[in-house]
A and B are shown apart, each in its own frame.
Chain A
Amino acid sequence: MLSQLSAQKTRKPGERLFCLLLVLGSVYLFWQAYSIAGFSELSSAGAFPMAASAVMILASSIIFVNTLKLPAAEGVRFIYHCFPPVVAIIMALILVYAVILENLGFILSSFLFLFIAIQFLYRRSVLTTLSITLLALIVVYIIFRLVFQVVLPEGIVPERDIIASIKALWR
């Protein structure tokens, strides 16, 4: 955080491209904002979005020009310092988790996600990972599904029937 407060002196790999994309994105959004109501009235539905996107174009252009002026940081590589494989793999894993969440249901998909992610990041024996995953899943399930009553996708596990039969046993 402290380092954030000090001024940036060098440019990271990919920064120029990112800033350029922001400029282009802002221009596209300005065009979209213009198509709402054009320059008809200052109080139109499109006036405020146009102003906001115009500010975005201006600010992103300044940022882009400033970035061009900065020297590249030495010894910093995009693949190692900016977007390391671990981030890419975890991002892909989250994406897969989001896709299978509704079809497989919360319990199965979360189990798979947690198991793979913890095994990959924590690197302990399969048994350790399995017990951590199960413990975490049980705690999350009890807190959010049973206590907070959050509706979670059921998928292929007939959760409600299982809970109902457990409740029936208690009675």
Chain B
Amino acid sequence: MDALNFFAMSWLSPELLGLTALGTFLGIYVGAIPGLSVTMAVSILISFTFSWDVNNALCLMVGVYMGGVYGGSRTAILLNIPGAPSAIATALDGYPLAKKGLAGEAIGLSTVMSVVGGFVGIIVLALAAPTISEFAITFQPRDYMMLGILGIMLVGSLSGNSLAKGIFAGAFGLLIGTVGLDPMTAEERFTFGIIELWDGINPVAVMIGLFGISEALHQLHHMDKAIIKQKIARIIPKGSDVKKYLPLSLQTSFIGVIVGALPGTGGDIAALMAYDHAKRVTKDPEVPFGDGAKEGLIAPESANNAAVGGAYIPMLTLGIPGDAVTAVFIGALFIHGLNPGPLLMVEQPHMFWFTVGNLTLANIFVLIFGLTGIRLFSKIVECPKGVLIPLIFLLSIVGAYAINNALTDIWWMLAFGGLGYFMRLYGFPVGPVILGVILSSLTDENWRRAILTERNSMADLFLNLFSSPLSTLLFVTIVLILFTQTPIWTTWLKPKWTKK
């Protein structure tokens, strides 16, 4: 009964209801406008909302997240520019549909199927999280340490073209997270005698720099891209279409929720896998894939929204973010004094049910806003980059200042913005940096706990790994990921393997 009360909290309070609606609305536009990303928006929002009541701030951010994942599909369909990485697969069949004059139908169908996916994700989250949480209480410090490393490695290997670059970015993030006074011994780490560095580098400044400033600087390269307008007619999808494609939507939703729940994989990978699944199971599509097959639109859209619920599972039960957006989200939870992890369900079960209720509400708002306001949408999306980009810079700078009312955070943000620009330019993923910053203290503390219980003996730590099936599994996975990047695998074994 308590759970139901907390579930319904954001539904019954007009303030929370309004903030969720506002967040979802903003999210749809943020996700849809190329150049604005959900990660960027949530990073900037954290700085403005950290003094708010935690529930209010969460409602706004959950709305932005849910709406943003959906919003990316609109520009993918209308302009062939995925508004978010999770909408890459949507453009493959969505844009051909729009070119045939079926943009409205495509948007309507993708909205309904996104919402179906969203609900599947939320249901799985509500059912699985309590069990996983109970299991996670039995985790050893070494397991947490390895989970942290695994998360960073997976994000590193999947988000760029080279594992070495991903690992470098992750390790760099871990190092940034250690700046300041050591929480266990109060020794100074990388403070260079500067008192302002005792508290460390604010993760929000790093996030805004890497996702706000550097992304916007990159947008300056493509100022002259012309936008092709599409005509939009009927937007409410046909009932027969919804009924026909529902089984595929449910199947791909489950793919989405599983992929989303794995550390390191988010909506973009889920959507691509779902697209691939749809291609394999659809024997005779009415229109070939790539030419405007509705199956190719429904599969990624269901999967990427289902991945949102999935991504919440490791975030709330283990305190491990799955990708950059959830890493930013975890940062927000920490700032609001919540401690995501197995104890969250024991100590603050209300937060869990509140989040589930809020996600459900945001999903309903996606349906409402997704099927309305198309005219306003076309106007906003056409906002010229020459106006949009200066505004992003303005919000980033004001956001960084708002964290502590200090110029120091602005300098950090600008430094990371500049560094992030060159990292992106030369193919370094920036997501693992954020993941590293967020996971730094968790990994560091658990490493030290693990090694202290083994009396500083590396050999004992290594041998005792194999006494637990979970530790063994995590260790083997990490070794396998590293192995697949060595020349033994890439130049010798892999070609033989693929030949077979």
Contact = CB atoms under 8 A, between A and B. Distances in A.
Interface in B6-38: none
A87 B49 CA distance: 30
Interface residues of B, number: 65
A2 to B, nearest CB: 6
Interface in B158-189: 160-162, 164-165, 167-168, 171-172, 174-175, 178, 182, 184-185, 187-189
A117 B390 contact: yes
Contact-residue bracket for chain A: 35 or more
A91 B418 CA distance: 8
B161 A43 contact: no
A153 interface: yes
B302 interface: no
Kindly name the residue among A8, A42, A102 whose own CB sees the greatest number of chain B CB atoms within 10 A.
A42
The secondary-structure label for the interface of chain B is helix
A151 interface: yes
A66 B393 contact: no
A68 interface: no
B380 to A, nearest CB: 13
A95 B414 CA distance: 8
Contact of A136 (B187, B188, B391, B402): B391
Interface in B208-244: 213, 217, 220-221, 223
B394 interface: yes
A22 B452 contact: no
Interface string B127-159: 000000000000000000000000000000000
B385 interface: yes
A125 interface: no
B218 to A, nearest CB: 8
Interface in A120-156: 121-123, 132, 136, 140, 144, 148-153
Interface in A52-96: 52-53, 55-56, 59-60, 62-63, 66, 82, 84, 86-87, 90-91, 94-95
Interface of B: 48-49, 51, 82, 85, 88, 160-162, 164-165, 167-168, 171-172, 174-175, 178, 182, 184-185, 187-190, 213, 217, 220-221, 223, 268, 384-387, 389-391, 393-395, 397-398, 401-402, 405, 407, 410-411, 414, 417-418, 421-422, 425-427, 443-444, 447-448, 451-452, 456, 458
Q: Nearest 10 pairs between A and B by C-beta?
A: A122-B386, A117-B390, A121-B386, A59-B168, A45-B182, A55-B171, A45-B187, A48-B444, A52-B174, A62-B164
